[in-house]
Structure 1
Amino acid sequence: MQVRHISPNIYKLSIWIGLPISLWAVKEEDGLTLVDTGIKQMGKGILKEIDRLKLGPLQRIVLTHGHPDHTGAIERLRADRNIPVYAHPLEIPYMEGEAPYPDKKKASVLVRPGLVQSLEKADGELSGIGSLKPFLTPGHTPGHLVFYHQEDDVLLGGDLFTSSRKGKLRRPIPLFTANMPLAVASGSIVKLLQPELLSLCHGTDIRQPHKQYDIYAEKWEKK
């Protein structure tokens, strides 16, 4: 497993299986927030790296969305502790197998029903989690989230984009994206937040992604 210290408080943990699969460990005052969990086989390695980095105890897991390369290691990571897991409420029925994702014919139980808690507050706003602020960016999946770390000025983008090796924005993987036009439009969050760094699950991290967004949108919104 490759570990990169991408900002003062954030580590990116990755493996390569035909494409990179990444998640993030975020240092908090009370320990660690994990953003996504990768595939099932990554669980042991994640725990090993958390211990090696001495980031403190794992306190919470937040999910960008419910696809198995983002949720696969949840049970392994929670084996010894009742660690809370959070996601957008729009996403939970799909990951629990109540309904198939919009681009699929069959529902699959990707996370044990009742395990994941909603990030939505009573007033409909999304709760901040640790040092992270969530933003709904639908399209790849109905409840896809990105998480902004204001202090480090880093946006953890999940599958909102992919990228080229030269650091160019690319659209999310079409085969697994339910609504590509909506996903492309959701990418405008980078213009709103203008993060110094955009970190992605499948691809190279990108500096100042807002400077590329207009060209990206013009290219892909017509595809």
Structure 2
Amino acid sequence: MKTVQISDHIWKCTTWIGFSISAWVVKSDEGLTLVDSGIPLMANGLKKCFKELQAPLKSIVLTHGHSDHVGGVKRIRDQYPVPVYVHETEIPYMEGKLPFPGRKKAEKLTEQGLVQPFDTNVLSAAGLTAYHTPGHSPGHTVFFHEQDGVLLAGDLFTSKRGRLNRPMPMFTSDMKQAVESGAIVKQLNPKRVSICHSGDVSITNAEEQYEEYVLQFV
């Protein structure tokens, strides 16, 4: 796993299994917040990152409940029994009560009651603000670190040649809604959009980049 510091307070941790999968570690005065947990084999690399940053892990927050974002939760919590948060819409899908939209079968990814709805105080302590961006999944959420100007975008986008590109169609339940949710870049005007399954995108003109992105679908 490769770990790269992408801003003053954020480290991006990436592994490759034919495509890239990333999670993020955010450091604040309170300690560390893990944003997504990747797949199980990433857990040891993430734990190594926690130790190198010499701060306690305080919580795990999830962009959404797909398996490649929650797969490391159990192994990490075996050593760090911290609370786990996600948008409340995702919880019944993660607990196996409902199949994710577009999928035939429900899949139990977490134990019932393990994952809690977002706590704004927890996010604020980490320097993060959550924004609901549905489409890829019903409760997909991005996190903005205003001080660093970084948008942790999960699967809201992929990237291509350093520009915003659509999320993976095979795993996106409502592409039209996902594209509309992408307008969050215009609202927040981040310096950097950090993406799970692709390289990051530097933003110089958020409105122009989003309008260019939308033209892919006309």
TM-score (structure 2 length as normaliser)? 0.94
Aligned to 2:191: 196
Structure 1 residues 123-172: Cα deviation after superposition (integer angstroms, max 9, x where no partner): xxx964621100000000000000000100100000000001x2011100
Structure 1 residues 52-79: Cα deviation after superposition (integer angstroms, max 9, x where no partner): 232x011000000001110001011111
Structure 1 residues 31-51: Cα deviation after superposition (integer angstroms, max 9, x where no partner): 100000000111111101221
Identity in percent: 49
Structure 1 residues 91-116: Cα deviation after superposition (integer angstroms, max 9, x where no partner): 11111111001110110011111100
- 1:218 equivalenced with 2:195 (yes/no): no
Structure 1 residues 2-49: Cα deviation after superposition (integer angstroms, max 9, x where no partner): 111100000000011111100100001121000000001111111012
The separation in 2 between residues aligned to 1:63 and 1:129, in whole angstroms, is: 16
- 1:143 equivalenced with 2:139 (yes/no): yes
Aligned to 1:114: 113
Aligned to 2:169: 174
Q: How does 1:55-66 map to 2 (within 5 A)?
A: 56-66=55-65
2:117 corresponds to which letter in structure 1?
S
Aligned to 2:12: 12
The separation in 2 between residues aligned to 1:28 and 1:128, in whole angstroms, is: 10
- 1:130 equivalenced with 2:126 (yes/no): yes
The separation in 2 between residues aligned to 1:21 and 1:149, in whole angstroms, is: 20
Assess if the C-alpha contact under 8 Å between 2:157 and 2:164 holds in 1.
yes
80-89 or 68-77, which deviates more = 80-89
The separation in 1 between residues aligned to 2:124 and 2:117, in whole angstroms, is: 12
Q: How does 1:3-82 map to 2 (within 5 A)?
A: 3-54=3-54, 56-82=55-81
The separation in 1 between residues aligned to 2:177 and 2:43, in whole angstroms, is: 32
Distance 1:184 1:86, change over 3 A: same
Assess if the C-alpha contact under 8 Å between 2:85 and 2:119 holds in 1.
no
4+ long deviations beyond 3 Å? 126-129
Count residues with an aligned counterpart: 215
Aligned to 2:151: 155
2:183 corresponds to which letter in structure 1?
S
Assess if the C-alpha contact under 8 Å between 1:128 and 1:134 holds in 2.
no
TM-score (structure 1 length as normaliser)? 0.92
Name the structure with the higher helix share: 2
User: For the aligned residues, what is the CA RMSD?
Assistant: 1.5
The separation in 2 between residues aligned to 1:24 and 1:127, in whole angstroms, is: 14
The separation in 1 between residues aligned to 2:12 and 2:174, in whole angstroms, is: 27
The separation in 2 between residues aligned to 1:104 and 1:7, in whole angstroms, is: 36
Q: Cα distance, 1:81 vs. partner?
A: 3.5
1:8 corresponds to which letter in structure 2?
D
Q: Which runs of 5+ in 2 are unaligned?
A: none
1:29 corresponds to which letter in structure 2?
D
Q: Cα distance, 1:218 vs. partner?
A: 2.1
